[in-house]
Amino acid sequence: MTFSGLIFIGALCLIWIALKIAPKFFVRQVARAAFKEVGKHALAKVPEQIKLSRVSTPQWKDETTIQQQAAPLVRAGFSDLGTFSVDKMPGVQIRMMFQPQTYVTAQITEHPKAGNWIEFATRYADGSSDFLSTLPDQGIVPPPFVRTVRAAKGTPTDSLYQQHLQTRKASGIKPVSQNDVVHEFEDAYMRYMIWKNDTGLSAEEVAHRAREWAKGNRVGAAQS
């Protein structure tokens, strides 16, 4: 948890919290030190650990899209592990799928603010991960042990899966089982957040989100 997927769940928390705070500073044209202070306050509100819980009857906002994303993966040999909620992140749902021959996890995520995206993940014995994600780059610097490839939303998921196989590192893949998938997700999120808490949110990261917020506000005003 950008987890790219895992990591992007974590990243999204940082982003949305920063968005609530950064604009107040942004409009006052504050200096670098103030943006770093925003980042510190944002990180302090983000949980360092999360727990996934299976949802027996998921309530998707766009169930049709979720099904369209999942169906090609089932045909590609993925097992459907079910849908999970994330404690401390109300409204987030993740449909977990796993390909046991290639050790690839697919995470179809619906976020109440960021909408829907899909991510493919491969774990490695050295603790690193390769991701392919349709979530746009959020301007949050990832740890050095996370490698992410971006892909366009709307691309068929079986094509995205093949792209991930072609772009991921071929050696050192961790042979996880479907019983490991949820734990791997939770552990990867925790490792990401420990690293992020140690390094902090930079002034550039917060400033990037403030600019995106301002740009979105201008677009929204022009359309209203």
Could you give phi then psi for residue 61, rounded to 5 degrees? Answer: -75, -35
Most confident region among 27-36, 93-102, 191-200 by mean pLDDT:
93-102
pLDDT (tens digit per residue) in 55-91: 999 999 999 999 999 999 999 999 999 999 999 888 9
Between 188 and 19, name the one with better pLDDT: 188
Could you give phi then psi for residue 154, rounded to 5 degrees? Answer: 95, -10
Give the gyration radius of the chain's Cα atoms.
Answer: 18
- Residue 211 CA to residue 220 CA, distance in Å, equals 14
Q: Helix count (H) and strand count (E) of the chain?
A: 6, 7
pLDDT for 48? 86
User: pTM value?
Assistant: 0.81
Mean pLDDT in residue range 127-153: 91
Q: Whose CA is closest to 92, among 189, 202, 178?
A: 189
Mean pLDDT in residue range 169-184: 96
- Comparing 25-34, 41-50, 128-137, 150-159, the range with the smallest average pLDDT is 25-34
pLDDT (tens digit per residue) in 99-134: 999 999 999 999 988 889 999 999 999 999 999 999
pLDDT (tens digit per residue) in 189-210: 999 989 988 887 776 777 666 6
Question: How many Å separate Cα 139 from the centre of its chain?
Answer: 12
Place 5 in a pLDDT band, splitting at 50, 70 and 90: very low
The rounded mean pLDDT for the chain is: 83
